[in-house]
């Protein structure tokens, strides 16, 4: 599944970036007696942070790539 959004509020203590992102999300469910009894959601948080421009932190980008 895909998740899309725009960073309009504080993120990890930093100001909003105003940038949009689109990431992959894996959802796994366990069904028992015809009902969902467990759910695991695994979003691509690294991809999200990179698209929002907050990873890697600016002080960790090699000068040759800045």
Task: Evaluate if residue 13 carries a pLDDT over 90.
Answer: no
Residue 7 lies in a domain: yes
- pLDDT at residue 56, rounded to an integer: 77
- Which CATH number does the domain housing residue 28 bear? 3.10.450.50
Residue 66 lies in a domain: no
- pLDDT at residue 66, rounded to an integer: 58
* Cβ-proximal residues to 14 (8 Å cutoff; 6+ apart), any chain: 54
Residue 40 lies in a domain: yes
Among 1-5, 17-21, 51-55, the least confident range: 51-55
Domain count for the chain: 1
Prediction pTM value: 0.72
Q: Any idea how long the chain is?
A: 66
DSSP letter at 59 equals: G
């Amino acid at each position: 599944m895909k998740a899309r959004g725009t960073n309009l509020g504080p993120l990890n203590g930093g100001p909003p970036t105003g940038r949009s992102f689109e990431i992959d999300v894996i959802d796994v469910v366990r069904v028992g007696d015809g009902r969902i009894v467990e759910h695991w959601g695994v979003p691509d948080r690294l991809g999200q942070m990179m698209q929002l421009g907050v990873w890697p932190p600016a002080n960790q980008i090699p000068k040759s790539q800045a």
